[in-house]
Structure 1
Amino acid sequence: MIDILHRRRAGILLHITSLPGNRDNGNFGPEAYRFVDFLNSVGVTVWQTLPLNMPHDDGSPYQCISAHAGNTALIDLDKLVDKGWLSRGERCQDCGGSPSFARECLLNHAYYGFKLHATEHEKIEFTKFCIDKKFWLDDYALFIALRKEFNNLSWNQWPERYKSRNISALKEASRRLSTEIEAIKFEQFVFFTQWQELKDYAARHGVLLFGDIPIFVSYDSADVWVHPEVFKLDEQFEMSVVAGVPPDYFSETGQRWGNPHYNWSYLKKNGFHWWLDRIKTQVEMFDIIRIDHFRGLEAAWEIPVSEPTAMNGCWVKAPGHALLKTVFDAFGPIALVAEDLGVITDKVEKLRDDFSLPGMKILQFAFSGGPSNPYLPANLDKNSVVYTGTHDNDTTLGWYRQISEQEQAYVYEYLGQPASSMPYTLIQTALASVANLAIIPMQDILELDTEHRMNIPGTTEGNWLWRFTWDQLLPLHSQRLARAIKLYGRD
């Protein structure tokens, strides 16, 4: 593992959408740069985001339309005004009041503004981008153009010639929709350009960007439409089994995610080419990458598509060792983190340890089961990433208020009866631990309760909407965090 994961560091978990701002979600605009400045000022050297891919209507960054394409909702439109591609105050008609439709309309206006007003250098950069990303961009742009033409229906409901990717039908559609396709490519050009500018700014200020790869992809995605052979589909391109997890801490009936499973025998025979392409995109975007649901690389929970819950499934083996060896052979010592939560076996731990990947330790899970609990501070090891909680947990203050008085007393007794209150007590514990990397959700820094939770696993409504405001960040929060980072040698 490369050195950036061997040094003691502190990080903050915050999705780009959770940044402050005047629009419907946070983006790559001035507030993102201000957040980097804040991180730098308190000694935080890692900013962990959730996936930045294009989500479906539920907003989940773990169910996306593409494993490569960026979420265009994160584009800062004001920067397009500054470039002269969009008029200040420009509005779109007939958008039905939907922010997403309005944004799409304005991006389309910016595309035509680009064609009229871009410099020769900017046009060359766009051309280079399209060539460099051709391995996924051409298919993605055609997929989105057809999806719009078919009223956003899932690709398996398209006319048969498009669903089955008839070559002559796709060639005809590419000609007919050429303008729309180029506009979609332009949106991705803007996304990746703005992200790279933010990444460069973060690097100059000593901040590493920590990304996230959902192990599975959405069935209704460009990936499955373009590469059905990579997934377990029948002759009609339908799923017979879907992914999820069995009953666990988060749900008594498990979680039925509904993603397609991988055809691992094909992937292994093909040298994991699809996965290498996917990793390539993430390596270019991030300094550190988390593999979400890492245990699925050893064995994944398969659920018959007819089952309404995840209770009746089975574990199916995956060639994780061969995949990770291929990844490291191709990319060298990249910084990967294993999200090793859930039902973890000795084989999963061996797969993680064979490649010296840091695992995740969640302090909210630590205070049950007695002194052998692997998440207790005394049981942590250096090569790990410790969290107070993740985006799937309640905020630490919310968690503490919902456990029993007996459990609360045990937490404080174990931690040596500290004088501080929650959530700072757990923040301090994380920062003081031996784990090389300590990550604190922004909600915990701000001392926020359950109302500010980001996600409730197993539910599909009301998630991924949380945003903070700068007036929630008090001088005390910054001062206390900066002091603890320095005190525990994480600066």
Structure 2
Amino acid sequence: MFFLVFIADRLRRLTLLFNKKETGVLLHPTSLPEPNLGRTADIFLEWLKASGASVWQILPMGPPVFGRSPYQSLSSFAINPELISKELLREEGLLENTSEAHSVALKRAADKALENPPEEFFQFRRKKWVKEWGVFMALKDANEGSPWHRWNQKLQPDIKRAEMHRMLQFFAHLQWRRIRKKAFELGIRIIGDLPVYPAQDSADVYFNRKIFKLFPDGTPSAVAGVPPDYFSRSGQLWGNPVYDWEACRKTEYKWWEERLAGTMELADMVRIDHFRGFDSYWEIPADAKDAIAGRWCSGPGIDLFNKITARLGKLPVIAEDLGLVTPEVVQLREECGFPGMVVLQFALEDSKFNPDKIPFNSVVYTGTHDNDTTAGWIKSRSNGIEINSCRQVVDIALNSPAALAVIPMQDILELGSSARMNTPSTDKGNWCWKLDSLPEPADLKRVN
């Protein structure tokens, strides 16, 4: 049944990304009252439908390297096992005690499932990334969780540990498929999120070292970030290794093709973070203390997207074209045909901004995961046009000509700065916000 749903999804992607005005809500699964892929996600989808929304936007779902940041993940393909619903595993007869610690319960369920694996698991584990994930995590376990460039090269992956990690991914992907099926039945599309750079300590980099700028020991020779901007006077030093784009080109961008295809299996559309990096990117020496020492380097441009589109077909991509956007970045996005983004917290600071002039082929946000909540922004702002309430900004988004208006849940609830999801260039208190309970349905309908 899900295969038929997936085929229908593929057919939908062949049409225009948007053919009418729609509303979406930005809420990561970790912010649900029960922060997993269980029944609460079903209730949230029904809440979206009742509110007049047809899009759910999430952040990257990969397992964080450390802390909670979804933008520093151990894999571009894996789903964070912390999102697996123990209750659903209990319903499937794989768990009896759901009160156990999450990691203990998951291992117990995986061990039980591996006693008599379903045929679908064997199909799943044939995928290249699943094979690699099992090896990578088994080696990481053997090396007590240390980054891969510090591993003892004499250690071999434990086969049982590798299979356990593959089974956990099987659980996670099955549970996410269930959510996608429910969303499809309700007419809800899901926007995934793809960071432009994978984390250094990831299966992505470990198995694809030739396409990144690395020293022989596996550490980055240059890292990614952005120059001084709205969020930080010293810029942002992300620490991810940058691509060797010439090496990528020689492979005809094979890994990028696999990465986009994998993301498209999880979502109807994908927002590519830091889209401007495909035109030119900020490369910083690996030993730099901040991002000021970086320099602009040329990205792959339209060549990457032409090559991948020729093999995958039309890409359902939303380009995050924020920050220092040059005419060349705009030209690249337009050549690709991707919708761009308008963030009202930025746009409304310009007294000349006219929301009625927002192009239809764009996505308008009150704010993103990196912004303060709109209520917090209003309280702290000192210039720009007169804004009196969070709902006023929400209405500007809903009434705009943009094809899609996305409202973070915090702005629907008109919450203050304490509900902010992330403050860039800081490492404390981020990615923690969670709903206590789902509110009554909101009025998010738009007039076409």
TM-score normalised by structure 1 residue count: 0.86
Code of the residue aligned with 2:132 in structure 1: it is: D
Code of the residue aligned with 1:83 in structure 2: it is: E
Give 3-state SS (helix, strand or coil) of 2:224's partner.
Answer: strand
Code of the residue aligned with 1:110 in structure 2: it is: A
1:137 to 118, 130, 143: 130
Alignment check: 8 A CA contact 1:2 1:335 kept: no
Cα deviation 1:406-425 (Å, max 9, x = unaligned): 54xx224xxxxxxxx52110
Partners of 1:111 and 1:10 in 2: how far apart?
Answer: 38
Alignment check: 8 A CA contact 2:224 2:241 kept: yes
Give 3-state SS (helix, strand or coil) of 1:470's partner.
Answer: coil
Alignment check: 8 A CA contact 1:256 1:310 kept: yes
1:465 aligns to 2:432 (yes or no): yes
Alignment check: 8 A CA contact 1:58 1:461 kept: no
Code of the residue aligned with 1:10 in structure 2: it is: T
Give 3-state SS (helix, strand or coil) of 1:311's partner.
Answer: helix
Q: CA deviation at 1:90?
A: 5.6
How do 1:36-185 and structure 2 match up within 5 A? 36-89=45-98, 91=100, 102-116=101-115, 123-131=118-126, 133=127, 135-159=128-152, 161=153, 173-174=156-157, 177-185=158-166
Cα deviation 1:172-227 (Å, max 9, x = unaligned): x24xx111111110000001000001001001001001001000011111111111
Cα deviation 1:144-174 (Å, max 9, x = unaligned): 1111111111111112x36xxxxxx6xxx24
How do 1:368-379 and structure 2 match up within 5 A? 368-371=349-352, 373=353, 376-379=354-357
Q: CA deviation at 1:87?
A: 1.0
Partners of 2:17 and 2:45 in 1: how far apart?
Answer: 18
Deviates more, 1:285-294 or 1:235-244: 235-244
Q: CA deviation at 1:30?
A: 1.1
Alignment check: 8 A CA contact 2:357 2:401 kept: no
Code of the residue aligned with 2:188 in structure 1: it is: V
Code of the residue aligned with 1:466 in structure 2: it is: W
Code of the residue aligned with 2:114 in structure 1: it is: K
Paired position in structure 2 for 1:424: 391
Alignment check: 8 A CA contact 1:295 1:344 kept: yes
Partners of 2:311 and 2:317 in 1: how far apart?
Answer: 14
Alignment check: 8 A CA contact 2:90 2:98 kept: no
Partners of 1:237 and 1:4 in 2: how far apart?
Answer: 39
Give 3-state SS (helix, strand or coil) of 1:3's partner.
Answer: coil
Paired position in structure 2 for 1:448: 415
Partners of 2:427 and 2:200 in 1: how far apart?
Answer: 16
Paired position in structure 2 for 1:417: none
Partners of 2:273 and 2:24 in 1: how far apart?
Answer: 18
Give 3-state SS (helix, strand or coil) of 2:363's partner.
Answer: strand
1:16 aligns to 2:25 (yes or no): no
Cα deviation 1:58-97 (Å, max 9, x = unaligned): 2111000011111111100111111111113463xxxxxx
Give 3-state SS (helix, strand or coil) of 2:239's partner.
Answer: strand
Code of the residue aligned with 1:84 in structure 2: it is: G
Partners of 1:90 and 1:34 in 2: how far apart?
Answer: 22
Aligned residue pairs, count: 435
Q: CA deviation at 1:12?
A: 0.2
1:319 aligns to 2:300 (yes or no): yes
Q: CA deviation at 1:115?
A: 3.4
How do 1:159-238 and structure 2 match up within 5 A? 159=152, 161=153, 173-174=156-157, 177-238=158-219
Cα deviation 1:423-462 (Å, max 9, x = unaligned): 1101111010000000000000011000000000111221
Unpaired segments ≥5 residues, structure 1:
92-101, 163-168, 413-420
Paired position in structure 2 for 1:349: 330
Distance 1:42 1:431, change over 3 A: same
Alignment check: 8 A CA contact 1:231 1:263 kept: yes
Paired position in structure 1 for 2:402: 435
Paired position in structure 2 for 1:6: 19
Partners of 2:288 and 2:357 in 1: how far apart?
Answer: 38
Larger Rg: 1
Q: CA deviation at 1:2?
A: 3.3
Alignment check: 8 A CA contact 1:6 1:383 kept: no
Percent identity, aligned pairs only, is: 38
Partners of 1:411 and 1:130 in 2: how far apart?
Answer: 56
Structure with the largest fraction of helix? 1
Partners of 2:135 and 2:50 in 1: how far apart?
Answer: 44
Alignment check: 8 A CA contact 1:84 1:113 kept: no
Code of the residue aligned with 2:319 in structure 1: it is: A
Cα deviation 1:32-71 (Å, max 9, x = unaligned): 0000000011110000000011112221110000111111
Paired position in structure 2 for 1:165: none
Unpaired segments ≥5 residues, structure 2:
1-13
Q: CA deviation at 1:240?
A: 1.7
Partners of 1:429 and 1:369 in 2: how far apart?
Answer: 15
Alignment check: 8 A CA contact 1:367 1:411 kept: no
Q: CA deviation at 1:136?
A: 1.0
Code of the residue aligned with 2:398 in structure 1: it is: L
Give 3-state SS (helix, strand or coil) of 1:139's partner.
Answer: helix
1:382 aligns to 2:360 (yes or no): yes
TM-score normalised by structure 2 residue count: 0.94
Q: CA deviation at 1:326?
A: 1.4
How do 1:383-402 and structure 2 match up within 5 A? 383-402=361-380
Code of the residue aligned with 1:12 in structure 2: it is: V
Q: CA deviation at 1:237?
A: 2.1
Alignment check: 8 A CA contact 2:212 2:244 kept: yes
Distance 1:460 1:2, change over 3 A: farther
Distance 1:225 1:89, change over 3 A: closer
Q: CA deviation at 1:128?
A: 1.2
Deviates more, 1:392-401 or 1:143-152: 143-152
Code of the residue aligned with 1:19 in structure 2: it is: L
